[in-house]
C-alpha cells in the first residue's frame, strides 16, 4: 500500500482519484489546497483523513509516502523538489516541468534521495498504446506520421472576453504546446525516438501564448508532423504511413480504434481493450506504484523519454519565440 497526498484540487485530480479506486495499492491520505475551506471540503469529498494548507506539513508528515502534483506547470519543479528532499515519491502531472533543465534537476534529486519521480502522462501506460507499438513493423519502412491533439478549451471563451485563466498565461508555463502538444511529442518519441531535426510554427494570441502550433520532426526515413491547439475543435485524425500499409488511430491520448490498411486494400483492425475514457489513468498510477515497490530503476526509461520530449518542446519554443520564466536557453 502506498499512501498518497494530492497537491491541487482541480478536475485533473478528480480524474486521477476516480481512477485510483481501481488500484488496490493506492490509499489517499491527504489533500492540499492553499485555502483551508477548500482543503477540508476536498478531503471530505474523497474520504481523505488529512488535509493541508502548507506544503511543509506534507513534507514532514510520516503518513505520506508519495505525492501527486497537479498544479500549474511553472511550480512543478519547486513543489517536486520539496517533496523529493523529504524522501517522498512524486507523480507530477504533464508537462512534468517548464523546461528540460528543470526536469534534469528533478531526476537528479530523486536519485540522490532514492525515491521515484514520474511524469503522469497517460498514453504510454495504456495497453492499447502497446498494441500500436507491436503492430508498427507491419507497415514496412515508415515514411510519415500525422499526429493531432487539438480541442477547443472551455477557458478560451473567457479569454476572448478579457478574462485570462490558467491555460492561457505564459508566466505559468502553459499554452497549447505544454497542455496538448506534449501528448503528441511524447507519442512521437515513444514510437520513433529522437528526431534528427525539426521545424515549428505557432499562432500566438495577443498575450504571447500559443493558441495552435505545428511541429515537423525529421527522421532518417520519415517525417512526423504534429498538430496541436486549444482554440479550435478537431477530429484529431492520426495516421502513420509505411511503404506496405498505413495505420489510422482514433484517440491518440487513449486509443479506442486502430486500423491497418494494406497496399492491396485489405483491412486489419487491431484488437484493443475496451477501456472507458479516463479510466485508463489507472495504468499510470499502477505503473508508478510498481516502480516504488520494485525499487529497481524501472522509471528511468520513462524519465529519459520525458527529458527528450521536453528538449524537443524547448527547441520548438525557441523556434516559435515563446518565452517562460527561467528559460535559460533564451539567454
Q: What CATH number is given to the structural domain containing 29?
A: 3.40.50.720
In a domain, 292, yes or no: no
Q: Residue 254's domain spans which residues? A: 124-281+310-330
pLDDT attached to residue 166: 86
In a domain, 290, yes or no: no
The domain total for the chain is 2
Kindly state whether residues 73 and 209 are assigned to the same domain: no
Q: CA-to-CA distance for 201 and 228, rounded, in angstroms?
A: 11
In a domain, 295, yes or no: no
Which grid coordinates are listed for 182? 506534449
Contacts of 236 (CB under 8 A, 6+ apart): 148, 149, 150, 251, 252
Kindly state whether residues 88 and 132 are assigned to the same domain: no
Supply angle C-alpha 275, 277, 279, rounded to 5.
65
Q: How buried is 36 (Cβ within 10 angstroms: 0-12 exposed, 13-18 middle, 19+ buried)?
A: exposed
In a domain, 298, yes or no: no
Strand duo 89-93 + 2-7: pairing: unpaired
Q: CA-to-CA distance for 151 and 232, rounded, in angstroms?
A: 6
Kindly state whether residues 225 and 85 are assigned to the same domain: no
In a domain, 297, yes or no: no
Q: Which of 122, 151, 180 is the last residue of a domain?
A: 122
pLDDT attached to residue 137: 98
Q: Which of 122, 148, 182 is the last residue of a domain?
A: 122
pLDDT per position in the chain (331 positions), as tens? 999 999 999 999 999 999 999 999 999 999 999 999 999 999 999 999 999 999 999 999 999 999 999 999 999 999 999 999 999 999 999 999 999 999 999 999 999 999 999 999 999 999 999 999 999 999 999 999 999 999 999 999 999 999 998 889 999 999 999 999 999 999 999 999 999 999 999 999 999 999 999 999 999 999 999 999 999 999 999 999 999 999 999 999 899 999 999 999 999 999 999 998 888 999 999 999 999 999 999 999 999 999 999 999 999 999 999 999 888 776 6
In a domain, 294, yes or no: no
Element (H, E) at 286: helix 281-294
Amino acid at each position: 500500500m502506498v499512501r498518497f497526498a494530492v497537491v491541487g484540487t482541480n478536475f485533473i485530480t478528480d480524474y486521477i482519484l476516480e481512477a485510483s479506486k481501481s488500484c488496490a495499492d493506492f490509499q489517499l491520505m491527504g489533500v492540499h489546497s492553499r485555502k483551508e475551506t477548500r482543503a477540508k471540503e476536498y478531503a471530505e469529498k474523497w474520504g481523505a483523513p488529512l488535509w493541508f494548507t502548507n506544503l511543509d506539513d506534507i513534507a514532514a508528515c510520516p503518513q505520506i509516502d508519495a505525492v501527486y502534483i497537479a498544479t500549474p506547470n511553472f511550480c512543478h519543479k519547486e513543489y517536486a523538489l520539496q517533496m523529493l528532499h523529504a524522501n517522498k515519491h512524486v507523480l507530477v502531472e504533464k508537462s512534468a516541468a517548464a523546461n528540460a533543465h528543470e526536469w534534469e534537476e528533478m531526476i537528479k534529486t530523486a536519485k540522490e534521495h532514492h525515491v521515484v519521480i514520474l511524469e503522469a502522462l497517460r498514453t504510454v501506460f495504456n495497453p492499447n498504446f502497446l498494441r500500436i507499438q507491436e503492430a508498427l513493423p507491419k507497415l514496412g519502412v515508415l515514411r510519415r506520421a500525422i499526429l493531432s491533439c487539438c480541442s477547443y478549451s472551455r477557458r478560451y471563451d473567457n479569454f476572448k472576453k478579457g478574462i485570462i485563466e490558467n491555460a492561457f498565461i505564459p508566466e505559468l508555463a502553459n499554452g497549447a504546446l505544454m497542455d496538448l502538444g506534449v501528448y503528441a511529442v511524447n507519442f512521437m518519441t515513444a514510437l520513433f525516438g529522437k528526431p534528427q531535426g525539426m521545424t515549428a510554427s505557432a499562432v500566438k494570441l495577443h498575450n504571447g501564448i500559443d493558441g495552435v502550433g505545428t511541429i515537423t520532426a525529421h527522421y532518417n526515413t520519415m517525417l512526423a508532423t504534429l498538430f496541436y491547439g486549444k482554440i479550435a475543435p478537431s477530429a484529431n485524425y492520426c495516421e502513420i504511413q509505411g511503404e506496405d500499409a498505413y495505420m489510422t488511430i482514433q484517440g491518440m491520448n487513449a486509443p479506442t480504434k486502430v486500423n491497418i490498411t494494406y497496399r492491396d486494400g485489405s483491412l486489419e483492425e487491431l484488437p484493443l481493450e475496451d477501456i472507458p475514457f479516463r479510466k485508463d489513468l489507472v495504468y499510470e498510477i499502477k505503473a508508478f506504484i510498481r516502480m516504488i515497490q520494485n525499487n529497481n530503476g524501472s522509471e528511468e526509461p520513462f524519465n529519459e523519454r520525458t527529458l527528450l520530449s521536453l528538449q524537443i518542446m524547448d527547441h520548438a519554443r525557441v523556434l516559435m519565440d515563446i518565452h517562460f520564466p527561467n528559460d535559460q536557453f533564451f539567454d
